[in-house]
Amino acid sequence: MEHSQLLKNEKSQIENEVIFLSDPEEFKKQEQLYLEVRNKEGRLYSDEIVETLPKLNSDHQLYDEWQIRKNSLQRIILYLKKKMAPLKILDLGCGNGWLANQLAENLKCRIYALDMNTIELEQGVRVFGKDPNLIFQYGNIFEPDYSDREFDIVLLASSVQYFPDMQKLIGRLLELLSSNGEIHIVDSPFYQSHAVSAARERTKRYYQKIGFPEMANHYFHHSLSDLNIFNLKLLYNPNFLVQRFLNKFSCYNSPFPWIRVSHEEK
């Protein structure tokens, strides 16, 4: 499906509902490349499919991946439900907004869904825009002035690989947190320091194979050691012995860690 097919409604109906905090023209070329790659990978969905995510028909080529995301979502919701106060959450790299919508529905909290992908943001507004607690924003996290906002939770789900500098990113996000706020990173690849170079080469070969070699310049590889200067805790670690044992009985547990970073000093 071409990404232009996602624009089923007239643009005038959605233009005023995505809040633009940055100039989209500045990143138009990179956005176009990203959308072409997602289209090639089968990751651009119809409105009807987006509305049901993370549920997906078992015959879909990405069914297994979405089962993993579904399990991760359930863990996050159970964790956040234990926090009694109403939450203000930033979903950074929200894409089409499926996760932001799930959080808004299950937690009844205020969700800011931020991305630099106009097409999928507009799709998110079409599909989920009736929820007054769900706000879709276009913006560069390093540019918009969030000084009047303090988020209780900043969530990065399958998005850190598009940020080149983890320390710069986490440092910026800590500025946006409330005093007791937390950053959560899920469903995102992290590598042992010695394995980063090999992972980078695999990525180059992959994008060459699918016809978009330039995309390798926008996909970055991080290790947990990049976060050692922060107050870091693994809430889920697929490499723990017990978890490795449990994973033998389920192929839908995430192969990636669930990372929490907070203000507390180490």
Q: What is the pLDDT of residues 30-72, one digit of tens each?
A: 999 999 999 999 999 999 999 999 999 999 999 999 999 999 9
Q: What are phi and psi of 90, to 5 degrees?
A: -105, 120
Which among 108, 104, 146, 107 is positioned nearest to 129, based on CA atoms? 104
pTM across the whole model = 0.88
pLDDT digits (tens, 9 = 90+) for 176-190: 999 999 999 999 999
Q: Where are the alpha helices (DSSP H) in the chain?
A: 28-40, 47-52, 63-81, 98-107, 118-128, 166-175, 196-209, 241-247
- For the cut 80, the answer to whether the pLDDT of residue 245 exceeds it is no
The contacts of residue 249 (CB under 8 Å, 6+ apart) are: none
CA distance 103 to 142: 24
Write down all domains in the chain, each with its CATH number in brackets.
3-9+18-262 (3.40.50.150)
Token pair for residue 191?
């590598």
Residue 11 pLDDT greater than 70, yes or no: no
Q: By mean pLDDT, which of 55-69, 124-138, 243-257 is the weakest?
A: 243-257
> pLDDT tens-digit profile of 103-126?
999 998 999 999 999 999 999 999
